[in-house]
């Protein structure tokens, strides 16, 4: 249901859509609008009525995975192997709608499609693709992506997980941390050092020596799963290696897919926070008038709306570039840094309009703000993306 505007005690209430400020939909095709509407309907019917309970109880709703698969959301930007083959813009629009429901549920689609499936799709053998991608697109097999380690986050080149050759086999030992979906996954893409540099491996999670333990003490992303992984003498055949991935180019190509999705997703969380604050301000009476009738409230709403519109316009520009094959890596950093930074400000500002009621799970902004602390951190912190852009501007690398 659209929030309502209030312009005086005698006026009629009219529907409000923040995107109307810049006629955003005029920039989209009918097919793009239809896909967005389809995903929004799913979010409104399935996620929003239940997300407060899922978040409060720290439950990831596995029961919605088949419905996500039916909508073509799993690996939706990949072609063939049962995937939907949608455009980058369509993927982004879907991600924004999912994150308007909750960041954790959009993250599921990202881990499954942009990370695990993309790694196999981009760098795997045909046998690996045929074995896993159709099942993952159908939601029959969940995947995870093991890159980050307890002491290797922003600097994955310092990873300690090591795969050694033993005859024709590979044997992996090491540890990974903050790995989404690992405890419910059937397949893990594990990145490890070898004598020949960093390589990727497709690891069925029922392989002896593979252990995933959920991280439960979280103040963010509670309706999702992140895990520690222990790899103890995990023995794999030679065919488990991703044959085309060598060095950090492999995992970074997948991270860029996930970062692109975040550019859209963060704005979905921001938009939902704005809509909650706007609706509340029009209903909440203080000193005999609605909060929306006060100048300071209107200033907050205007500032939020402007940043949301700018964030979506940025996302759309990058999406069009991606679909044209012209998107550059530093441009992904522009979107990830800006939109995460602004989204968390918007969610926090929206909470202030809700007052004390805003700290409850009856309203979404503080939940979004808590989730965005994670979104802002994973797939590259503000600092990392600032350094990427600093190098682009100055020509001087300042990472070390």
- Supply the pLDDT for residue 91: 98
For residue 140, give both structure tokens. 């029959």
Buried/exposed 82-100: b ≥16 CB within 10 Å, e otherwise: bbbebbbbbbbbbbbbbbb
Instruction: Based on the residue annotation, tell me whether 379 is a catalytic residue of this protein.
Output: yes
- CA geometry: angle at 315 spanning 313 and 318, to 5°? 110
Residues 336, 259: contact at Cβ < 8 Å?
A: yes
Residue range 272-313, pLDDT digits in tens? 999 999 999 999 999 999 999 999 999 999 999 999 999 999
Residue range 225-237, pLDDT digits in tens? 999 999 999 999 9
Domain end among 95, 112, 138? 138
State whether 169 and 69 are in the same domain.
Answer: no
In terms of Cα–Cα distance, which of 75, 89, 152 is closest to 315?
89
- CA geometry: angle at 312 spanning 310 and 252, to 5°? 115
CATH code assigned at 256: 1.20.140.10
Residue range 166-204, pLDDT digits in tens? 999 999 999 999 999 999 999 999 999 999 999 999 999
In a domain, 19, yes or no: no
Residues contacting 284, CB < 8 A, separation 6+: 290, 291, 355
Using CA atoms, how far residue 18 sits from 157, 218, 275, 280, in Å, is 42, 32, 8, 15
Active-site residue, from 12, 126, 379, 383: 379
Quote the CA–CA distance of 233 and 131 in Å, as a whole number: 24
Quote the CA–CA distance of 108 and 180 in Å, as a whole number: 8
pLDDT at residue 61 is higher than 80: yes
- Supply the pLDDT for residue 364: 97
- Supply the pLDDT for residue 6: 37
pLDDT at residue 7 is higher than 60: no
In a domain, 42, yes or no: yes
Residue range 377-390, pLDDT digits in tens? 998 899 999 999 99
- Supply the pLDDT for residue 1: 37
Quote the CA–CA distance of 158 and 37 in Å, as a whole number: 43
The residue among 3 and 75 whose pLDDT is bigger is: 75
State whether 259 and 208 are in the same domain.
Answer: no
In terms of Cα–Cα distance, which of 297, 398, 288 is closest to 354?
297
Residue range 233-256, pLDDT digits in tens? 999 999 999 999 999 999 999 999
pLDDT at residue 367 is higher than 90: yes
> Mean of the per-residue pLDDT values for the chain?
94
- Supply the pLDDT for residue 3: 41
State whether 227 and 319 are in the same domain.
Answer: no
Quote the CA–CA distance of 270 and 345 in Å, as a whole number: 9
pLDDT band (50, 70, 90) for residue 154: confident
State whether 261 and 187 are in the same domain.
Answer: no
- Supply the pLDDT for residue 11: 38
Question: Domain count of the chain?
Answer: 3
- Supply the pLDDT for residue 18: 83
pLDDT band (50, 70, 90) for residue 46: very high
Average pLDDT estimate for 101-108 = 96
Residues of the domain holding 227: 143-246
CATH code assigned at 41: 1.10.540.10
- Supply the pLDDT for residue 17: 83
Strands 197-204 and 241-246: antiparallel
State whether 63 and 190 are in the same domain.
Answer: no
State whether 93 and 199 are in the same domain.
Answer: no
- Supply the pLDDT for residue 16: 64
- Supply the pLDDT for residue 136: 98
pLDDT at residue 2 is higher than 60: no
- Supply the pLDDT for residue 9: 40
pLDDT at residue 161 is higher than 50: yes
Looking up tokens 């949608």 gives 86
State whether 230 and 167 are in the same domain.
Answer: yes
Domain end among 224, 246, 268? 246
């Amino acid at each position: 249901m659209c929030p309502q505007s209030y312009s005086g005690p005698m006026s009629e209430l009219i529907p409000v859509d923040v995107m109307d400020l810049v006629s955003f939909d005029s920039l989209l095709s009918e097919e793009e609008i239809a896909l967005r509407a389809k995903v929004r309907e799913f979010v409104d019917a399935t996620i929003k009525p239940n997300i407060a309970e899922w978040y409060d109880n720290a439950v990831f709703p596995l029961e919605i995975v088949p419905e996500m698969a039916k909508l073509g959301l799993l690996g939706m930007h990949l072609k063939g192997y049962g995937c939907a083959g949608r455009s980058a813009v369509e993927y982004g629009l879907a991600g924004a709608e999912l994150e308007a429901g909750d960041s954790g549920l959009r993250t599921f689609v990202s881990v499954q499609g942009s990370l695990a499936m993309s790694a196999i799709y981009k760098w795997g053998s045909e046998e690996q693709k045929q074995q896993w991608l159709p099942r993952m697109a159908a939601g029959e097999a969940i995947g995870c992506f093991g890159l980050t380690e307890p002491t290797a986050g922003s600097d994955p080149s310092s990873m300690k997980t090591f795969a050694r050759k033993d005859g024709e086999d590979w044997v992996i030992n090491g540890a990974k941390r903050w790995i989404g979906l690992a405890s419910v996954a059937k397949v893990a893409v594990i990145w490890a050092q070898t004598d020949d540099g960093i390589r990727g491996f497709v690891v069925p999670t029922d392989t002896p020596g593979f252990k995933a333990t959920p991280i439960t003490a979280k103040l963010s992303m509670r309706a999702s799963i992140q895990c520690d992984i222990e790899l103890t003498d995990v023995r794999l055949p030679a065919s488990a290696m991703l044959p085309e991935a060598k060095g950090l180019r492999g995992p970074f190509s997948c991270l860029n897919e996930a970062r692109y999705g975040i550019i859209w997703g963060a704005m979905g969380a921001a938009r939902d926070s704005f809509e909650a604050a706007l609706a509340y301000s029009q209903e909440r009476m203080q000193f005999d008038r609605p909060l929306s009738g006060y100048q300071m409230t209107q200033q907050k709403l205007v500032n939020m709306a402007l940043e949301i519109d700018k964030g979506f316009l940025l996302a759309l520009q990058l999406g069009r570039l991606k679909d044209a094959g012209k998107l550059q890596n530093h441009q992904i950093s522009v979107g990830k840094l800006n939109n995460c930074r602004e989204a968390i400000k918007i969610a926090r500002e929206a909470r202030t309009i809700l007052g004390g009621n805003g700290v409850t799970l009856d309203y979404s902004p503080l939940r979004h703000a808590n989730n965005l602390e994670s979104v802002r951190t994973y797939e590259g912190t503000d600092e990392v993306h600032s350094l990427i852009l600093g190098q682009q501007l100055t020509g001087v690398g300042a990472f070390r």
